[in-house]
Structure 1
Amino acid sequence: MTKKVLLTSILTVFLLAMTFAQERLVVKGNKKYAEYSFSPAIDIYKKVIDKGYVTSELLEKLGNSYYFNANYEEAEKVYKQLIETYGSEVGPEYYFRYGQTLKTLGDYRNSDSILARFADMSSNDLRSKIIKTAKDYKEEIARNSGRYDIELFEYNSKYSDFAPAFYKEGLIFSSDRDTGNLARYRHTWNSKDFLDIYKVNTDSSSNNRVVKMNMLNSRLHESTSVATRDGTTIYFTRNNFVDGKSRKDEEGVVRLKVFRINWKDGEWSAIEELPFNSDSYSVAHPALSPDEKTLFFAADMADSKGASDIYKVSINEDGTFGLPMNLGAAVNTEARETFPFVSSENILYFSSDGHPGLGGLDIFATKIDNENISNPVLNVGEPVNSNRDDFSYIINEENKRGYFASNRADGMGADDIYGFLETRPLIFECLQPITGTVRDKISNDVLVGATVKVINEENEEVLSAITDDNGNYTLSCDCNQGNFVRAQTQGYIPAEEYLPISDGKPIIIDFYLEREIVDAGFGDDLFKLLQLSTIYFDFGKYDIRRDAEIEIQKVIAAMDKYPSLKIKANSHTDSRGADSFNLWLSQKRAESTVNYMISQGIDADRIKGEGYGETRLINECDDGVKCSEEKHQLNRRSEFIILE
């Protein structure tokens, strides 16, 4: 008994020691994670999990560490384990990242399912609204695809090459290729060498050679950059590195900042830190407007919606800056919006994993109109976009050539630069042609001069058209948003159709308007109100002719529409024949009309008939007057008088 107690005590102490050791490792891993040192954090978390110590928080951070390092294969395994094990305990953000990871791996069916669950969990999230309203996003991407011819940049290396920027006649870009320091400095985010900025074909020293731009580089990261057209000013991204020392925030993280350098009096000036940088948040990826009076950049400032947002700031004449402004919900989501670029046609290109894409970061575009950034955001499509990370897009609008970076599988290194030729433009204005005819619903007659309007979802009239002599109209609407098409004319009830967001294919909408006969009174002729053709009979006969049957069906349609309507069928003959015969014949015609309508479903108490013989002629063709058959035909008729 004593031995069993002793063994139990020893085992308990051992397990407690093991648990304490795992917890200490987790604390160490969390410290690395908080410092964005994801590579060592991964090593630590894996050791802990291999020893059987697993928590939801541990899986969350391990999954994120893989996700932020673009190791989507491993991220998928961890997120899957997290959600399958802890289910309802898992926050919506992990469903979003799991869905994005599945999409990156090409599993769109399961990705759509997981992202739909995320949308249900986060009803107030902008991404949730986008997911719910963009269910046909793959069709939109397909429409925008096939517009580029791409090829690998000939100066790529087996390392990471990205962030191309136009500079003079060549390019500058960022790379962690061999820097000549024998990898003395490595970044703990991904355990790779720090990035430097390089140039190629910008001057004689870089003619067909990749050369470091030493005046920009430090022992930490330098990455995305942009130069003015004359090449005298360069904005670039660097770690928070001032006076030869790196600076950390309160959590021990070295943030990113944007710096500026100017060519003046034959030499480069001292590097200048921009005033809206901060030690407590990151500012990165500068881009210039076509007039070079506005600087765009990505940041995670206090008012950011997500992991990073795109901002803009005015550049004053004296080189000072205005106040940074978030581009807002038209561009930014709760995820990552980054790597902005503005073309000479005022098109803002950027990368995002918050807008619907093919996986990882996709490249998107939106038109900037007079400082207005509320136009649709469009995915630029394949082959520029893929199911991996695609980013740092630039284009020369004059020759339609440009560059972007991607970590797709067919490259040489971790990230590679691709050159492209845009073979056809991205269409921002999606105009859907609409044609059709406006007719009377009962008579089928065309309605000339009817108005057809396009009204947006804010109930604002966008444009209108008038029907021609054939009742036809032609107009168009913006197919990037839902619209109502409404037809109306005096004396008729307006009718409208809703057109959802579409691919812009032409559509035909015919309108059949109903008359406003609710104001008709006792004794009014229904045929005149509905503009129907008169019901005629053959000489000496009372059976319903085929042409009369068509018109009577229109009366039946009106009675179906207005259940309280009661009518009387008055029938008439021409003057030929005896008066008594004509009275009998007209009564038979009235009865034929009534019986036909009852056979078609009209209640007998809603219609009655009466024959008037030749007592109500509508022309001069009385007894003894010689008239043509056509004139006599006009008197052999039935009419419908409203009783109630």
Structure 2
Amino acid sequence: MKLKNHILTGIILLANFSAFAQYGSQKRADNLFNKFSFVNAVQVYHNLIEKDFNADYATRQLADSYAFMRNPDSAVVYYKKVVEQHNVPIAYYYNYAQALRGIKEYKESRVWMKRFKKAGGEINDERFLKDADFINSIFNAKQQYFLTKVNFNSKYSDFGAYEHDGLIYFASARNEGVSTKHVYGWNGEPFLDIYATEKNANDSIVDHKSKLKGSINSIFHDGPITITKDGKTIYFSRNNFNKNVLGKDEEGMTNLKIYKASLIEGAWTNIEELPFNSDAFSNGHPALNKDETKLYFASNMPGGFGGTDIYHVEINSNGSFGSPQNLGNVINTDKNERFPFINSEGVLFFASDGHPGLGLLDIFGTVLDKNNNIISVLNLGVPVNSSKDDFSFFMNEDGLSGYFASNRNGGVGSDDIYAYDRIPQLKIQGTITDITTNKPVPNAIVTLLDSNNNQIAHLETDENGQYEINIDRDSDYVLNIKKDDFIDDTRHVTSKGVENKVTSITEDFNLNRVIKVTPITEFYPIYFDFNRFDIRQDDTVELDRIVNLMMNVYPDMIIKIESHTDSRGSSQYNNKLSLDRANSTYKYLIDKGVDPNRITEYKGYGEQKLINDCDDTTNCTEEEHQLNRRTQFIVVKMK
């Protein structure tokens, strides 16, 4: 017997571990997806589909991932599965249509585009039906980013926001509190300096006191910057000015160079010019990759594709630098590519006026293949991009927030910093407890169904009675909780109307234990006529027996009432009808003298809990349907 119990315990723990391992896999996949690491996300989504864990959601994410990887052949396969799902967001009709265009299935694409439009989708026919780049069309089919203005912009140019260790660093031409004014003749604004402000500071005043300490700021342009993880080394752009000498090229122009400095006792000192700079051309806008082995930057050095290109150099273990390497013509064009940024998954973002965009400089993300080669670029679309200059993109570790700069209309100064948030994954979570002891209920079975009763997830609560499932926004669901020796509980939940910034919905359950009673206290169901909720005369005998037992035999007994319908009629109508039956049953008992406090609840379940196979797909006799038109009485507590 002990051996059997150990085996059973092992099986339960293994199942519990497996469910939560899949939680982790889905979080990992979504995190990779948010950071544009689509090739790695694909592998995890495939695994989730194979294990049938939240498979509909994983299939949608997988289809989008293939689309962004410029793999329309695979994207079409999974979009086809997606559009067959019940209650799927109509945006996927559009995505499927665009993917079909990617494999030149134009006739079928038009069918799904019309279906998207008929379902209420808006289409700019002239733009999208002529657009040859189906990837960008899919990516921008729905808004990805939501903007908020930061509170420290000035009337001058502010850009290059970079968050590190609770501080936001940025370049600014503001000169409040400065006695000596140095003005840049090109635009009539003061020269740029590097500032830092606390991320959550309530005070929006950022003046000369917020400049970086030390010798990093000069009388000419300084910024933008990037900082090593340990916070001890900074790389920054500056006019060709070192040791109080302003360098110039043969035509008398001063170019940009990249420098680094060290943080010593709270001040940035030991300014060093990087060895691959030159008086003859500009290097600027430095950015580090995750492991700090490469420095990316923009340059107009000879040998590029035109304008400024994106380059990188290796940072060797001894601190020396390799030779600049051009990133190639997938990134660089004959115009200008600037302001590189590398996120935590090694994905490059940059600004360009050479790739198809909405205006002047637009911000683009890149897509990598399994060998980490850049295979395409994605325009981030509105509202990140506008008809003006949009540049200096930064993304936090979470992949869901960051900053960029723009000179679009409506700003405070010539260039302004904007904060963005991406819509985070929404999850439903909760704790299952014993209503009597208030202790957690581990290994309870949690089943999530969509509005058509299709199973989406099936898992067990952990040792703390907790569960967590990723869900879609703007959708309806049903949560069912089961546990041996407890009464099942079912609840309708919705994500409709949930604000974009909200990341979780909490649904806790208090389960009632099943009370094993003697035959005299077993209650039998009562039944109802078709489409009626009034108490039948032949059922008053059982109801009167219940009244007698509760009032005269078991005065401490507490019950609950559950009413049901057969499968005929709509789900919405049957839910209402079953609630009416529960109400009439409750009223009968109360009118006969039962204390209302001894009936914990009276609920209608519609056609959710049929006791036979008489659903909408089966022809049943009236007698078989009658068995489902019932009210049941459940003993919750009895001393």
Q: TM-score, with normalisation over the residues of structure 2?
A: 0.43
Q: TM-score, with normalisation over the residues of structure 1?
A: 0.43
